[in-house]
Amino acid sequence: MKFVMLLNHKKIKNAPGKFLLRCFKTGVAMEIIFYHPTFDTPYWIAELTKKLPGANVRAWQRGDNAPADYALVWHPPVEMLQGRNLKAVFALGAGVDSILSKLKAHPEMLPDAIPLYRLEDTGMGSQMQEYAVSQVLHWFRRFDDYQQLQREGRWQPLADYNHDEFTIGIMGAGVLGSKVAQSLLPWGFPVRSWSRSRKDWPQVTSFAGESELAEFLRDTRVLINLLPNTAETIGIIDQSLLAQLPDNSYVLNLARGVHVVEDDLLAALDSGKLKAAMLDVFSREPLPQESPLWRHPRVTMTPHVAAVTRPQEAISYIAQTISQLERGEQVDGQVDRVRGY
């Protein structure tokens, strides 16, 4: 238990994080538990402590049942959260799949009354923009075709693609989908989005709901997947969906591997319906060596690195959000557990 003294309330009133020193009449430091199986835990704890002076941030270990106000987690063990009277839980990434899947089997792990937050951007948006723009331009300038000609030892200029015939369709219109759409517009491509509800984004044609999916797909030359992982979206990119794209289309999956039926994707590539696919995520990770995706000549892949959590941006976001919650303010990023995002 820690006790602190207010020397000048007015001076620290609006300083970021320093309001925590007041400890709200109790004089007890705020307790934050942290768990991530791969992050540099000492670094995160040190930086969080700088951003939230007066808070006690500790690495959670098995058997730690001491009180806590907030939990910062990634793939948390059930016992870490179960039975705690937390003010909020923060997932240390944009996805909350692991937490929600555990909640199905262990609903007592996190009562509905405890809000769950995810990192909506924190540097991920710019990374997704870089990834998407670089790959779309790679296909648009036919660099994949020129690489094949190089392997064949052939010097052969190819006809250019036209911007107006290279429509980009983004499935998933959340924060990251919005960022990717914005980054593609300056290059002159027609951009459209498809999501659960209609969006009002400048220069982007919005489609919504199952009834408009076919229309969305009809002229989409490059399909970019940024959907959330929900019961409704698992396996959505299957043979039926791919068949509705124009011939020689492209698929760029930046969301979750479970969205794509990999056998159907391979069949579409082999038939010529798809010209190429760029995959950052897979149904099983690491991708098993026996997967034919490793060896397919028109599949390019990266090991789930399209957008990773950037510590400084994430730490600043978490510290700011905790500060806002403590002041009773409205904040963004709370997960709707029914929708799954």
Residues labelled as active-site residues: 256, 304
Residue 150 is inside which H or E element, if any? helix 143-152
Task: Specify which residues 278 forms β-bridges with.
Answer: 252, 300
Backbone angles phi, psi at 324, to 5 degrees: -65, -40
Task: Specify which residues 208 forms β-bridges with.
Answer: 195
Bond preceding residue 286 cis, omega within 30 of 0: yes
Euclidean distance between the first and final Cα of the chain, in Å? 36
Task: Give one word for 46, left, alpha or beta, with left for phi > 0 and alpha for psi -120 to 50.
Answer: alpha
Backbone angles phi, psi at 194, to 5 degrees: -135, 130
Burial class (CB in 10 A: 0-12, 13-18, 19+), 115: middle
DSSP class of 159: P
CA dihedral (61, 65, 69, 73) positive or negative: positive
